[in-house]
Chains A and B, each alone.
Chain A
Amino acid sequence: MHPRFIIYFLIGLAVVLVPVFVQSNYWIYMFTMVGIFMVLVSSLDLAYGHTGLVSLAHAAFFGIGAYSSAILQLKLAVPILPALLLGTLITAIIAAAIGWPMLRIRGPYFVLGTLAIGIAIEIIIHNWDGLTGGVSLSGIPMFPEVTIFGTTFDLSSKRFFYYLVLAVLVVTQILIRRIVNSRTGRTFASIRENEDLAAALGMNVSGYKLISFVAASTIAAFMGGIYANYMGAIEPEIAGSHMSFNLLVMIVVGGTRSIAGAVIGPLLLWFVPEFLEAAQMYRPLFFGAILIIVIIFMPTGIAGKLRSLHPRMAKWIP
């Protein structure tokens, strides 16, 4: 077996064994959050890295997914699993309805448009308190205990959620790989590289932008639904433009179109400020400083930089 795959296997094994060796629920929560960010960053990368759509509304769809699934459970007593799927579907429809007019706008105006949507969604959630609970929506049901073959599993446990998020992350990566390595993914890349040429070769540019945008939003929405049940309470800020901005920084810093990039970005920008107690307060400053350093010295992100060091590195870093 190639040494590269042995290393991948060992990393994978370590990731799977984290809950076995880490006893503190706090740290398992921290790792789970990083996993959630990895899913969000990977899905954002489908729109941003692969299709060239700079969206500052990605967290809005995470938020809409979280709220619609939670509201279905709280107000209409829909069971968790159907609520999660229905909430994701609702978000996909909202993403299509927003994306359809928005994606006709090009360049910086599109970015500003998504920024406005991010802000608007946060305000709507905040003010529609009859439905959303205003500043906070709490009491979202925990996952139940289930008994299979006489063994009882507590699905509300932090350990279970760690594995659930890990599974979502793995499936997300497989989905994205498959989309990217296909006619659809090649069309995304064409739009990113030269929109006018793509149209001149018969590609339906606005149609494929919409597919990319909705696919990215749908993955975020599904993650949002799980997040709502994990936390038990959610706030409008999870849908806000500040959160979207952080996701964009994570992908730019980590490196686009790279699994490693989607891992490095969230690890660095979620964990390091936690370790440096002083940095807690200055988190925005820390984000800003890292962003500037990366943009100047590594325009392709940390993963891109590592890949460019040596042809062999390019092979090793997925």
Chain B
Amino acid sequence: MTDFWILLTGSLVAACCSILGCFLVLRRMSLIGDAISHSVLPGIVIAFMVSGSRDSIVMLLGASVLGLVTVFLIQLFQQSGVQADASIGVVFTALFAAGVVLVSLNLRNVDLDLDCVLYGEIAHVHWNTWTLHGADMGPKAVWMLGFTLLVIVLVIGLFFKQFKLCAFDPMLAAAVGIPVALFHYLLMGLVSMATVSSFESVGAILVVGMLIIPASAAYLLTDRLGRMILISVAIGIASTVLGYFAAVVLDASIAGCMVCAAALLFVLAFVFSPTHGLLARRLWRRLHSRSV
């Protein structure tokens, strides 16, 4: 059962992240997950200063608020003409630094590392169960991530055309009357929700990796967005399973192995993709030069 819960949690994280990752890769904003993983620090510090508690609910609340602030600011700067990568960099370093200052001013003697109070560990999910009226409902993380996935699938599914057009051609989207800014903010809100809830359940590295790697691999394998999302989710889940077995064999960090497995699948896609792969391109060039 333990293995099942870990694989299910990993797959839910992979699914949430790799769906959103596709849009982020297309918008060249895939590092936003890493940004959020740092910028939530002031959120948890303030949450602790207000409540005096390090309970995960309080920490999650503080982190969620700061996650939303982060993506809002990034989107705001980007819309005002700052480069996407620069606006991510500016926002997350500034917020993280503010968190460090807050800790050094007030809380030097309190253990408030993100690692200790916010980031969960996928190895422990099956112990953190949710009890409702005395009944064991299974791991909390599965419920939280399942809900997150549901929201993501609903929102993206309902407005798929709008999201697609906004990702590829915001000008055209605006011209046909789609509220582009609204959809950008909506997407960012989903990203914030998915990353923060995943951080709380499984830690940072798995989320940051799953947000970037499966989508980037899928990008090499297809030119159609719908298919890219499906492939991305498949790669995400496959890396969860592969990575977990690697972790069992090696007795190593589970999240670390899962991300390494995703990287391995990415390399395979990079080399062997029938359209954009290294081999295919080389072959195509050779054929082409021969015919000339």
Is this pair of chains taken from one and the same complex? no
The chain A residues found within 8 Å of chain B, CB to CB, are none
The chain B residues found within 8 Å of chain A, CB to CB, are none
